[in-house]
Every structure is written in C-alpha cells, then in structure tokens.
Amino acid sequence: MASLIPTSQSCRELLTELELLQPTVRQSVRSITLSRSMMWSDEAGNHLRPALHLAAVLLDWKELEAITIAMPEDLTAGQKETGDHDYWSWTLHRRLLAAFTQGRWQEIRLVHPTTYTDPNIFLYHNIKYVEEWILPLEPQRLLGIRRSHYWNTLDAGSHRQPASRERVNQDCEHIWAERGIVIQAENPGPGEMGTVLAVRWRAPWIREYRQAATTFPIPKPPSLIPWQLLSSIEVPPFLQLLPQWRVALCREHGDCFTQDDLGHHLIHHHGATEDESTDVCFSSPIQELAKTWKDVVHPQHRITAIPCLQVIDGYQCTDIFCQFRTATMTSWISHCRKTGHSSFEMKKSRMFCQTLSSCPTNVRYFAVYPLDDFSFPLADDQKNIKDLRRLQGSEDACG
C-alpha cells in the first residue's frame, strides 16, 4: 500500500500540498498520515474552515483506503498529563471517523505520542471519542453501563467485588466485535510513533455490507456553497424542508429553523450575505414554513429518527396522561418526585429522543427509533455471508 507521509505542518498547507500532487502519484496513494501539528487548534492553518475543507477532500479521494491520524496523550493510559487535550482540534477526527461507520475506510490508525503498557485498550480515555463517532447509540449505551459499573465497584464506599480489568476490557471488545469492528494495539509503522490503535472491519464482507447499506454524502465546507447559483425558487443544498413539522432542517448543523430564525443562521454559519439570506428566506418553499416557533408542529408519537438531528439517550414519563420528556436523569427524577408519576421505573422510562431545535427556549423532545443500528453475528463468517445474502434477498423481494 503506497502511503503518503506529508511534510505539511497544518491543514491549510496540506491542502496546497495535495493540490500540487501529480495525478499518477495521487492515484497510487492508498493511505495518508495526518500529523500532530495538524491538530493544534491554536494554529491559524488549522481553524475550522481549513480542517473541514481538508476532511472533505480526503473523503472525496477515491483511492484512499486508510488514514493515520494523531491522537492526544491518553488521559488514562498516559503516564503524565501533557495538556494535549486543552488545545486539541477534533474536527478531522469527527468527520473522518464518522465516515468509517459507512465503510469508507478499510482502516483508521490512531497514533499516540508515547508507548503505553496497559493492554486494556477499551478502557482508554480516547476510545470514548472513537466510540461516539463510530458506533450506533445502543452499543454506546452498553459500553457506558459496563464501564461505569466497573468504576463504581472501585469506589472506596462500594460493597461489591470489582470485576477484573481484563474481564471488563473483554466485554467491551465483544460489544465492538458484534458491530463488526476490531481495535488492536500495534507497533508504530513508518511516520508513526508510540501506541497505535488500529481500527478495522472484522472482515471485508462486513465493510462491503455497510457500504451497501449507507449512501455516502460528502459534507461540503461552507466556503464551497455556490450561493450565486441558487435561484429564488431553490433552497441551498444543505437545507431540507420538513413540511409536516413546518421547519427547515440544516443538515450541516443538525438544527431546524423557522422563517424568522433562518436568515440569522445563513449569515452567521454559512457565510451568506444579507441579500443572499433574504433571497432564500423569501423563496416560496421557505414561505410555506412556520413563521415562528409558536406555529411549529412538534412530533407527538414515536417516529423514525430524523436524519442529521442528534439522537439523545433520554427519559419519558410512563404515566399515560403525561407528556413529560427530558434529556437528563436529574430532571426526570425531579419530575417523578414532584408528580408521583413513573415511580422511578428506570427501564421503561429510557427512550431515544430528538428535538427539532436545540435552542433552549424551543427544545421539545419526542421519542424516536434510532436510524442506523447495525450488528453482525459473531459465529462462523462463511455461514454469515449466506445468512446475509438470504436476508438481502428477502429484503429485495419485499421491495
């Protein structure tokens, strides 16, 4: 595999370096290394825009199969506090790791600056970031429960016998494997150092299955939106109208807007001018939407999650006449205390939820079925291929 180890020190420099790459060289490259200095958020060449732009270019690069990306010193496994986390930019990680879930990469290599001796990598601090960007919500929740059980037994006041670290690590590894993914600590390769955590698909067919199951939208950085090409009847490509709820969803920022608050968002988050924003807001599709949040229709019953809106692991009141829903355990408990509802039935009260707007005054949670919850059997892979083919066949038959 031809790897590219760039000499550039910042995202902006790397963008230029890639632009100058000969087409033949570009086509031969299969992996690239993103160095530590590219994650320094206090460096102007790494600010949000160049980082988003670089992520889009890498995702769009057909021949690229693997990414090596620098990680800060791990807060659990590292021997010393280096302050790395304080200035670390996660923009590239967030975009590139999220694409792994869709089968975009064969492998992601997470490079740490020093060599760690603890073999229980699933208890490392940095793995939690990886988890959040790669795994669906349900396994994230299982991993969170498994780990917090373990940490709780380590508390001085706990009466329970702590499980062994190895055992907890194994359980976490198992949860990842069910989702088709392995993570292994490896020796550093060329251009790498310290502890390398390699994230891979368990088998090529699993990756292919994920690719087939997910379409792959390349996120465009704000600077590449062709404002001048939008006519008055068109809405920008990142906006999706949700007529049944009477709002417009910004897929880039995962938030919904009414006629009145859309203009501000376009100017401050998408680089539109006053005139461009006015053109969009007065276009006929936007005029069909609610003017203010008073006129918005919020989903009442459980629906399939709306793509691009964040899904939250929340709580609902189990009293049949009560509409109370919240994102935090403390407010759920205080509701139960005040009203006598739910009698603290934790299991029944958990629900995945979304809200159309994240603005505190407009937040209204509704229950959803998570969209993309995938898992793969752990037994013999040959048999699984047959099972999946059968499954795919029956899905096709259903149309």
> Residue 49 or 253: which CB sits closer to Zn ion?
253
What is the smallest separation between the CB atom of 311 and Zn ion, expressed in angstroms?
18
> Residue 209 or 315: which CB sits closer to Zn ion?
315
Angle of CA points 43, 34, 223, to nearest 5°? 60
Please choose, out of 9-17, 62-70, 197-205, 335-343, the segment that lies near Zn ion by the rule CB under 5 A. 335-343
Interface residue with Zn ion, options 59, 67, 341, 384 (CB under 5 A): 341
Give the x-and-dash track for 90-129 against Zn ion (CB under 5 A): ----------------------------------------
What is the smallest separation between the CB atom of 185 and Zn ion, expressed in angstroms?
38
Does 34 contact Zn ion by CB under 5 A?
no
> Residue 152 or 334: which CB sits closer to Zn ion?
334
Give the x-and-dash track for 256-285 against Zn ion (CB under 5 A): -------------x----------------
| C-alpha–C-alpha distance, residues 4 and 328, integer Å | 45
Does 319 contact Zn ion by CB under 5 A?
yes
Diameter over CA atoms, the chain: 70
How many residues are present in the chain?
A: 399
Helices (H) and strands (E) in the chain, counts: 15, 14
DSSP state string for 198-238: EEEESSHHHHHHHHHHS--PPPPPGGG--GGG--TT---TT
What is the smallest separation between the CB atom of 252 and Zn ion, expressed in angstroms?
4
> Residue 253 or 302: which CB sits closer to Zn ion?
253
CA dihedral 221, 224, 227, 229 (to 10 degrees): -130
> Residue 26 or 302: which CB sits closer to Zn ion?
302
Please choose, out of 113-121, 246-254, 289-297, 378-386, the segment that lies near Zn ion by the rule CB under 5 A. 246-254
Torsion sign (Cα): 346, 349, 354, 360: negative
> Residue 25 or 322: which CB sits closer to Zn ion?
322
Per-residue DSSP letter, 102: T
Interface residue with Zn ion, options 84, 192, 252, 276 (CB under 5 A): 252
What is the smallest separation between the CB atom of 164 and Zn ion, expressed in angstroms?
41
Is the CB of residue 39 less than 8 Å from the CB of residue 92? Answer: yes
What is the smallest separation between the CB atom of 248 and Zn ion, expressed in angstroms?
10
Does 253 contact Zn ion by CB under 5 A?
yes
Torsion sign (Cα): 48, 49, 54, 57: positive
Does 227 contact Zn ion by CB under 5 A?
no
Does 250 contact Zn ion by CB under 5 A?
yes
What is the smallest separation between the CB atom of 300 and Zn ion, expressed in angstroms?
16
C-alpha separations of 267 from 56, 238, 247, 274, 389 in Å: 22, 14, 18, 7, 48
77 phi and psi, to 5 degrees? -85, -25
Residue 268: HSE in the Cβ half-sphere, 13 Å Cα cutoff: 6
Neighbours of 278 (CB within 10 A): 14
Please choose, out of 85-93, 156-164, 294-302, 337-345, the segment that lies near Zn ion by the rule CB under 5 A. 337-345
The burial of 77, by beta-carbon neighbours within 10 Å (0-12 exposed, 13-18 middle, 19 or more buried), is given as buried
Angle of CA points 162, 174, 31, to nearest 5°? 125
What is the smallest separation between the CB atom of 255 and Zn ion, expressed in angstroms?
7
> Residue 131 or 279: which CB sits closer to Zn ion?
279
The residue count for binding Zn ion (CB under 5 A) is 10
Please choose, out of 109-117, 146-154, 196-204, 315-323, the segment that lies near Zn ion by the rule CB under 5 A. 315-323
Q: Residues 55 to 74: which contact Zn ion by CB under 5 A?
A: none
Cross-strand pairs, 66: 31, 107
Binding residues vs Zn ion (CB under 5 A): 250, 252-253, 269, 317, 319, 322, 324, 339, 341
